[in-house]
Homo-oligomer: A and B are copies of this chain.
Amino acid sequence: MIARRDLAVRVAARTDLSPTCFRVILETVDEVAAVPGQFGMLTCGVGFDPLLRRALSIAGVVRREGVTCVEMMVKEIGRGTTLLRHASVGSRLRLLAPLGNGFTLTAVEGTRLGLIVGGIGLPPVLFAAEQLAARKVGFDLYVGAASGAELLEVERCGKAAAAVGGELVLTTDDGSAGEHGFVTDALQRRLDGGCAYGRLLACGPNPMLAALTRLARDRALAAELSLEEPMACGVGVCLGCVVELEDGRYVASCKEGPVFSVDRLAERWWP
């Protein structure tokens, strides 16, 4: 496993990406060797409330001139993420990272990969897309959101897909941009139309992942999902974040995940 560390980081920049989502760049002098799918546990307050760090996927890592910039994309949903949105540039936080496993990024003979994103599920998948593009592994990228305004980083997504001749498929629940409907519906249409993917990599809200699981199981497609369970420690010691596997065992998603192959997951895990 790649060495995790409790990094002293500085909020170097914050940009709005949509009405609800924003980007944070965290700067540290340490090197961070993260792979797509891994996450970090970030402090978001100073006192004991909120008590726990928040789990955030790593959207990218860039090192230059002795400084590492870790990119995260965050949706403001509750107290921790609101604090983060209002943290001033220059604030000092701590980031325990990189944690967990990552997506399998190898090519599958003769097919492309299918990358599927729902909403704020973008960061690990975009990180994967950019690394696949750099390695010239072909993929199509499906990105769904509630509305056009909530589609994040469309240009960057298009650029990554284009680099390997892949398609960027956009969908919105309200039809205000891209195809109308769920991102899994768009995927299904392409599959029905003869598109073949050697492996699906996905992150998004549970209902989307549930739909995707059914789709993948029905068609015996390999698929890896990045799951989001409430986490206290992020390092496997609290057992709060467990996911049920097909054999009935509960495993810590912060250690054995957050990326799981659909065929390992208990069916009743899906809501």
- What is A's interface to B at a CB cutoff of 8 Å? 45-50, 79, 83, 86, 88, 90
Contacts and interface: CB of A to CB of B under 8 A. Distances in A.
A48 B46 contact: no
Contact of A49 (B48, B88, B90): B48
Nearest to A80: B47
Contact of A46 (B45, B88, B90): B45
13 contacts: A45-B46, A45-B47, A46-B83, A46-B86, A47-B47, A47-B49, A47-B50, A47-B79, A47-B83, A48-B49, A49-B49, A88-B88, A88-B90
Total identical chains: 2
Contacts of A50: 47
Nearest to A89: B88
Contacts of A47: 45, 47, 49-50, 79, 83
| Nearest 9 interchain pairs by C-beta | A47-B49, A49-B49, A88-B88, A48-B49, A45-B47, A47-B50, A47-B47, A46-B83, A47-B79
Nearest to A88: B88
Nearest to A47: B49
A163 B47 CA distance: 45
A61 to B, nearest CB: 27
Contacts of A45: 46-47
Contacts of A86: 46
A78 to B, nearest CB: 12
A89 to B, nearest CB: 9
